[in-house]
Each structure stands twice: as structure tokens, then as C-alpha cells.
Amino acid sequence: MLNPDAKLNPKLFDADVEQKPTRDGYGDGLVIAGEKDPNVVALCADLTESTRSEPFAKKFPDRFFEIGVAEQNMATIAAGLGISGKIPFISSYAVFSPGRNYEQIRTTIAYNDANVKIAGAHAGISVGADGATHQATEDIAIMRVIPNMRVVVPCDWIQTKKATIVSAELKGPVYLRFGREKSPVVTTEETPFVFGETQVFWKSKKSECAIVVCGMLTYAALVAARELDSEGIGTMVINCHTIKPFDYKTIVAAAKKCGAVVTVEEHQVHGGLGGVVAETLAKHQPTPIEYIGLQDTFGESGPPPALLLKYGMGIKDIKEAVKRAIERK
């Protein structure tokens, strides 16, 4: 059943559940962060409307900087602002930032522990028709290995808004990952959000497998858990919105209790959420693990729902992975 302490959307499993892109949460959160602190500024690389930086640009025109198609320059400028007392947010498609400007993020931002927030939009294959060149599926892996970098992958529009606001209050670099496609609103304004702490969204009476998920696939994981429950297979669904720092204690405890784990992410299975879970359990609690995500392949152009199904990230795929993990106990 849904964890009542999580205070999730009561209409979550309704056919007409509200759907909004997680990128809208970034736009909403950025404006609120700007209202709370005059040191918040925003920079964008020619994608102001698409990354949802536009509302901030309109409300605070003197604190917004359009850099153009120059992601490397944007990161370097932001580093200077970040060590000078400002709180810069930089945004572009994730394939370009952190994809194109990785070296500048690593050396000018992270190495200097500059107070810069990197917003990677249009992440995952749910970008759809834009195809493989615009589908960032390696960015979590790229960013989580950089020293001083925090990495957060919110599950829906509301949580992205909260994560953006909190990121402005944290000192040091943060990477925020969000998408373009609409996805169900899982949480509510009352849902707790603590940076660095996972959340148990579903807990069966007897949990045989822990489903650890991040991003917009959280909804699919919850639907899978509900269907599995009706089949007599109990699970836990853990929303791991913060990849770094990683809440290893909760994951280790869940693995110990359930005896099997499935990771779910709209990212390559190597190096992302699946990677950090595997590393953690190998050290603290060796456990059978199955991975939902891109299996060392690029995406392609197509409708987002069709792509998720083709590449094994649908509800049926999650259920089958849970059953395989349980069989391996």
C-alpha cells in the first residue's frame, strides 16, 4: 500500500491523474528561489523557454543572462559568479550541459567548489522524437563521480520545484536532472522532501523485493508494485531522488529486509542509480539485483511511451525484473 507518511497524491492511480513535465517544476522553483534570495541569478544557453528559465527571465531581467549556444562559456561565467557571492543556475539540455561542458564543470565549478547549480533538461529517452543525439542517458554517471558535486533526480513536477528551491540554499555545486515529457504528479505540497534522504512510497505487508527508483519512472514503479501486490508479491518502492550524497543506510536496510533489489532509472544501467546501489550493497549487504534502464545502447526517435516500452522500462518490465530478483534469492 502507499505509505501514508509520504502524503502522496490521493488520485495517483486514477485514470485522470494530473500530469506535468518535471521541467515546469524547475521553472516554478527558480522563480521562488529568486524571490527568496536576491543573489540567485540564472544563465541559459539559447534554450530559455524550453528549459523553463523564461519565467525567471521575465520577472528578474537584470538577473538573467542569455549566453547563446556556448555551454562551456556559460559554465565558466557561472563559476566566477558562484565564487563571488552569487547563486547562479545554468540550464541547457543535459546532452549539452553537462555533456558538452563537462571539463568546465569539473575544473572551473567543482574543483573550485563554486556555488553553481547545473540544470540538465530533456534528460532520458522520453525526449522522444529528438532522438539519440538529444537524449541524455549518461549524465548521472558523468556527474556523480565529480568531487564536490551533488546529484538530484526528482520524481515529478512538485518535487523538482522543491529540489530547485533547496538547491539554492545549499552551498556548493548541485546537478538537477529533469525531463520534457509530461508525467504523473506523484507527490503533493505536503510530501516531505529532505535533500539526501530517500523516501519509502510503497510498502507491502511482506516485502520480498525493494524497488529503488529515481525520476519520472517512479510512477511506473508504483503501478508495478500495486499490480504485484494483487498477485501476492509484496514490494517496497523507494524514491531515491538524491543520487549523491547517497542514503546508503536506507537502501542497505531495505536490501537486508527484502533480500532482493531492482533499480529503475531512465538512464544507462551502468554508472547511474543502478551503479551506486550495486556499489553500496557489494560493500555492506550483498544482494541479488536486477536493473531497469538502457542496457548499454543509445535510444532512437519515437513517441516517449513507445520508447520506454521498447527499451524495457515499462510497468511489465519492472514486474518481471522483480520476479527475477526474487528467484535469485
DSSP per-residue codes, 195-262: TT--EEEEE-SS-SEEEEE-GGGHHHHHHHHHHHHHTT--EEEEE--EEES--HHHHHHHHHHHS-EE
For this structure, is 71 an active site residue? yes
Q: Which three cell numbers stand for residue 329?
A: 534469492
Three-state SS at 175: strand
Q: Are 76 and 108 in contact (CB under 8 A)?
A: yes
**Choice among 35, 54, 66, 71 that is catalytic:** 71
Distance of alpha carbon 228 from alpha carbon 3, whole angstroms: 16
How far apart, in whole angstroms, are the C-alpha atoms of residue 153 and residue 272? 11
232 in Cβ contact with 180 (< 8 Å) = no
Q: How many CB atoms lie within 10 A of CB 328?
A: 12
Q: Which stretches of the chain are assigned E, i.e. beta strand?
A: 19-21, 40-44, 64-66, 87-93, 117-121, 150-152, 174-177, 182-184, 199-203, 209-213, 235-239, 242-244, 261-268, 289-294
- Which amino acid is it at 153? V
Please state, in angstroms and rounded to a whole number, the distance separating the CA atoms of residues 172 and 169. Answer: 9
Helices 315-327 and 218-230: crossing angle in degrees, nearest 10, is: 60
d(CA 295, CA 22): 24
Q: What are the catalytic residues?
A: 71
